[in-house]
Structures are given as C-alpha cells and as structure tokens.
Chains A and B, each alone.
Chain A
Amino acid sequence: MKKDIDIAVIGGGPAGLAAALEAHRRAPDKSVLIVERDRELGGILQQCIHNGFGLHFFGEELTGPEYAGRFIAQLRNTGIEIMTDTMVLELSDDRRILAVSAANGLVEIQAGAVILAMGCRERTRGALNIPGTRPAGVYTAGCAQRLVNMEGFMPGRRVVILGSGDIGLIMARRMTWEGAKVEVVAEIMPYSSGLNRNIVQCLVDNGIPLRFNHTVTNILGRERVEGVTIAEVDPASRQPIPGTEITYECDTLLLSVGLIPENELTQAAGIQLDRVTSGAVVDENRQTSLPGVFACGNVLHVHDLVDNVSDEAILAGRAAAAYVTHPAPAAGIRRVSALSGVRYTVPQRITENASGKQDIYFRVGSAYRPATLVVKCGDEVVLTRKKPIMTPGEMEKISIDAAKITGDITLEIEEAHAQ
C-alpha cells in the first residue's frame, strides 16, 4: 500500500493525538494520519488508570484513560486517518515512512511533514547490571502496570520496588490495592523524583517504607524471585556499602529506574539528538534538524505532566501545519544552552523568526532551595526567576519575550551567595 499524506504522526498517545488535532485545526484541508502500534489509541495513558492528569490542561483531575478519551473524542468528524496495530519500521530523511500491519501489509507513506511522538521505553535491569539470578518475577514497573491494568493479572504477591519515580510509587499503591504486600521502595538518590502527592498517597498511606540512598544488590531465586537484597550506597559514588545489605523475602521485583525516549527511528533518519535528553534537538516550533520533521512529548524529553505534553504537541502540530501550508525559508538559529545547575533545555534552538512569548522548558541537575535561574543573552541578563525550590524531578518552564533573544542564550542556576 502506498499513501501520500500531508502530515503523518508517528504515535497515537497523548502527544500524537494533540499534535494531530492541532495540525488538522490549523490546516483543515490537509490530510493527517496517525500511525499507532497498539490496538487502540491512547498510548501509555491507557494503562495509567490513576488520576492526576489534566489539572492544568482541562482544569479537572482526570485519570489517564479519561484524559486520552477527551482527545480521542475530538477525532470524530475531523477526517484524521488512524492506522492502529501498525508499526513504523523506517523513517527516511526525505520523510518517507515504511510501516507494516497485519491488515495492510507493508505501507509506504510519503509525508509532507512528520511528527515524531513515539514516547519512551523503560530502563532495564540489564542496563543497571543488577547481579543475581534471572528468575521470573522481575518486571519493569510499566510492564507490570500493563499486565495489571490492561490484561487483568497479578504479577506477584510480595513486592520490592527499586526506584521512587512516579511509576514506582503508583505501582506500589496499585499492587497494595490489589492485595499484594509491598515490602519496601528503594531509591538510589537521596530524594525521590516522584511527586510529593504520590509519596503520601502511595507510600505513606499504605505504610510502605521508602529507603533513600539504597539500591538492589542481589536477586535470589532460581525459577521465581524468592528474595531481593538492598544495600545502602555511598552518596558520592553511589556504590553499595558492604555490610549494609538487607534481604527481603518476596516474589517480585519491580524496576522503576528511568525512562529513555524511543529514538531509534529518529537516529536512523540522521536527525540530531541531544545527548542529555536522548531526544531530538529542536527549535521553538519543535522542528528537528530535519526540515519538516517535528518531535513532541516523551520522545523529545521525558515529561512529568501530560498537560505539558499536550502543550508541546500543539506547538508541533501547529508548526507541521504551517510547514505544509506555507513553508518558511530556513531561518538563522540561536542556541539555547544549559549551563551550571541546568541539565537541559527544550527547545535547544530558537529561530530568528521567533516572535512573542517563548516558553523554554528545563530541568535542574540537583535540588536547589531556593533556586535562582538566570537567563543571559550574551553577557546581558534577560530574565531572572527565583523559586523556593527546584528539583530534577520537576520540569520547569520560563517564558521570555522573543524580542529579548537577540543572540545565543544561556540558562544557569545562580548559586546562593553566603550571607
């Protein structure tokens, strides 16, 4: 099957849905196609049955499926084409997509513009070199979440969780509410990257201990997990301290140890990636280094709030629509650089054409209390923002008037001076 599509969106999760809808809104007579590998739209939100989504975007607290449902409902009568159960195999640098499905076989799509919205994958046990045996019962938290919330199965009854990011915290509660006993949550850092509300609602509410500066040093059990050993780590080296080991009897280890943007297609297309975010380098329109290819959502950088994903996807959708309607000539770019204290910024570039309020998202590298962010254009300070607290677990946003961005800009955290 061969198709010509004006705007092709790879991924039908929250990013892809919002981007497709915005692209259609902006360019109603252009064809829009969403290619989604799962049987249904919604992406990861399908399995995020907890609430906390949409407070900013809809002014209501929704569960993941409800949030996705709002966008899916809007697809009706738009003429946006959907191909589910379809996997994109290749993206070429001239915006040709090769996809495959059982229903349609190989599908070649020549796209006018492409929006990358593939989301991310979970970091694995192997990547952490966790020693021990390789029994059944070791799951990444997201995989366990899928089994529980979409297939309706219990992966285990006595659980140890490594990682106190939101997925780990949410699964601690989920498993408890389904009758499992969660023995402990171990977190290698001295703080959690998860939301405070989740620490309270998931761990404190259920009496589940949280051990900072701890990691898993052994997995026991030949066929099924029988125990997990955790140990304290040295705060500087993050290496286990011998003699601090505690072994918990359990049948399940859940790993919530990081998300990695899924950029295999992006890389194969020759698109420039940012080594810190593992996502594409983009400008304020979320256009990548390949003209006509845009990126948004978790594939671009891992988000905490889906509301931000939707905002970002709207930018990408709008820009993709503009690209196929009246492509602007390539403009000069200004770099946005992350300096001391700031781990990364998205976007990493701002074009000379940018106008109006420019939102720059960033994360800090450690916890700062208080935190003063300084934005400079050359040597000139263009913005200072002081907040009582900034942590790596909370994505931050600042807005700068494009008129102030007359050259490359930098973001950094100003260390508090001794009083």
Chain B
Amino acid sequence: MKTVEMTCIRCPMGCRLTVTQDGDSFSVTGNTCRRGEEYGIQEMRCPMRVVTSSVRVSGGRRPVCSVKTAAAVPKADIGAVLAAIRTLRPCAPIAIGDVLCPDIAGTGVSLVATAND
C-alpha cells in the first residue's frame, strides 16, 4: 500500500489529490472530476512529461533552435533525454516539425523542432 499526495495540474482548480496504490489498483480522492482521477493514476503509474529544450544549430540564423519531444516521455527519462539533446548538432535549414531525432534516448518518442531556422 502506497499513498501519495499531489496537486492535480489538469485545470486551474489544482485539487489536492490523495492517491493510494494497492498492487495494481489505485484509488484517488480529492479530485472533483474524472480528469483528476486519470491524472492521479498516471502520476502514480508513470509520471509523463513533455520535454522542451533547445539544440545548437550549425549554419542557422540563430545559434540555437527550440525543440520538444513529440509526446510526453516518462519523467524518469528526462535526464537522459536532455543529455541526448546536448549531443545533437543539426544543420540549418530547420522547419517547425522536422524530426531531429526519431527516438530520443530510447523513449520511442521523436524530438522535433519547434522553430524555423
């Protein structure tokens, strides 16, 4: 049995959730809607986050270009994702949506450009 307190971030309410995990079953209290419950469970199972950062660019108008993971990745992998981003050196031109790395740090999620350079 594991109980965690957390703040739901799905809407401005910021309900204070208490999520209890017993094996593979979860119970959520404190939420005022369904999305809160979903969030609570996901946070317990595997918190996921979208990572936004920037990469150094060669030959672009600007020295860096903003990027994001195309989908949320496990929070635990953020460090590895950032380390992998640090090693990238794409060349200009870059367009919004360009895939700069199809599977960043083994997460299965691609890293895409979010700006044009």
Binding site for B on A (CB under 8 A): 46, 49-51, 61-66, 69, 148-152, 177-178, 195-197, 199-201, 204-205, 388-389, 391, 394
User: A residues within 8 A CB of B51?
Assistant: 177
Chain B: CB-nearest residue to A394: B12
- A49-B65 Cα distance, complex, nearest whole Å: 9
Known: A66-B96, A177-B82. A389 touches B66 (CB 8 A): no
Chain A: CB-nearest residue to B10: A197
**In the assembled complex, B62 has its CB within 8 A of some CB on chain A:** yes
Known: A149-B54, A196-B7. A49 touches B62 (CB 8 A): no
Chain A: CB-nearest residue to B49: A201
Can you give 25 contacting A-B residue pairs, CB < 8 Å? A49-B67, A50-B52, A51-B50, A51-B68, A61-B50, A62-B114, A63-B68, A66-B115, A69-B115, A69-B116, A149-B54, A149-B66, A150-B64, A151-B63, A177-B78, A196-B7, A196-B8, A196-B12, A196-B14, A200-B7, A205-B49, A205-B75, A388-B13, A389-B13, A391-B12
Determine whether the beta carbon of B12 is less than 8 Å from that of A389.
yes
Min CB–CB distance A173 → chain B (angstroms): 9
- A353-B52 Cα distance, complex, nearest whole Å: 46
User: B residues within 8 A CB of A199?
Assistant: 7
Contact of A49 among B49, B54, B63, B78 (CB under 8 A): B54
Chain A: CB-nearest residue to B55: A152
Min CB–CB distance B103 → chain A (angstroms): 20
Q: Nearest 9 A-B pairs (CB), nearest first?
A: A49-B66, A196-B14, A197-B9, A65-B115, A152-B64, A152-B63, A63-B114, A50-B52, A200-B9
Contact of B64 among A50, A149, A196, A388 (CB under 8 A): A149
User: A residues within 8 A CB of B49?
Assistant: 201, 205
Number of interface residues of B (CB under 8 A): 28
User: A residues within 8 A CB of B54?
Assistant: 49, 148-149, 152
Min CB–CB distance B45 → chain A (angstroms): 16
Determine whether the beta carbon of A49 is less than 8 Å from that of B56.
no
User: B residues within 8 A CB of A178?
Assistant: 53
- A149-B66 Cα distance, complex, nearest whole Å: 7
- A151-B6 Cα distance, complex, nearest whole Å: 36
User: A residues within 8 A CB of B62?
Assistant: 150-152
User: A residues within 8 A CB of B96?
Assistant: 65-66, 69
Determine whether the beta carbon of B9 is less than 8 Å from that of A65.
no
User: A residues within 8 A CB of B53?
Assistant: 49, 177-178
Min CB–CB distance B24 → chain A (angstroms): 25
Chain B: CB-nearest residue to A150: B62
Chain B: CB-nearest residue to A61: B50
Chain A: CB-nearest residue to B64: A152
Determine whether the beta carbon of A201 is less than 8 Å from that of B9.
yes
Given pairs A64-B66, A65-B114, A196-B14, 9 additional interface contacts (CB within 8 A): A49-B53, A49-B54, A51-B50, A63-B52, A151-B62, A152-B54, A196-B9, A204-B7, A205-B75
Interface residues of B in 1-42 (CB under 8 A from A): 6-9, 12-14, 32
User: B residues within 8 A CB of A65?
Assistant: 66, 96, 114-116
- A394-B32 Cα distance, complex, nearest whole Å: 19
- A201-B14 Cα distance, complex, nearest whole Å: 13
Chain B: CB-nearest residue to A304: B12
User: B residues within 8 A CB of A152?
Assistant: 54, 56, 62-64
- A328-B8 Cα distance, complex, nearest whole Å: 48
Chain B: CB-nearest residue to A47: B66
User: A residues within 8 A CB of B115?
Assistant: 46, 49, 65-66, 69
User: B residues within 8 A CB of A148?
Assistant: 54
User: B residues within 8 A CB of A49?
Assistant: 52-54, 66-68, 114-115
- A152-B115 Cα distance, complex, nearest whole Å: 14
Chain A: CB-nearest residue to B6: A200
- A66-B62 Cα distance, complex, nearest whole Å: 16
User: A residues within 8 A CB of B67?
Assistant: 49
User: B residues within 8 A CB of A201?
Assistant: 9, 49
User: B residues within 8 A CB of A150?
Assistant: 62, 64
User: A residues within 8 A CB of B8?
Assistant: 196
User: B residues within 8 A CB of A149?
Assistant: 54, 64, 66
Chain A: CB-nearest residue to B79: A177
Between A62, A196, A204, the greatest number of chain B beta carbons within 10 A of the residue's beta carbon is seen for A196
Chain A: CB-nearest residue to B96: A69
- A389-B54 Cα distance, complex, nearest whole Å: 36
Determine whether the beta carbon of A66 is less than 8 Å from that of B114.
yes
User: A residues within 8 A CB of B75?
Assistant: 205
- A66-B68 Cα distance, complex, nearest whole Å: 10
Chain A: CB-nearest residue to B95: A69
Min CB–CB distance B86 → chain A (angstroms): 9
- A49-B55 Cα distance, complex, nearest whole Å: 12
Min CB–CB distance B76 → chain A (angstroms): 11
- A312-B74 Cα distance, complex, nearest whole Å: 37
User: A residues within 8 A CB of B6?
Assistant: 200
User: B residues within 8 A CB of A50?
Assistant: 52
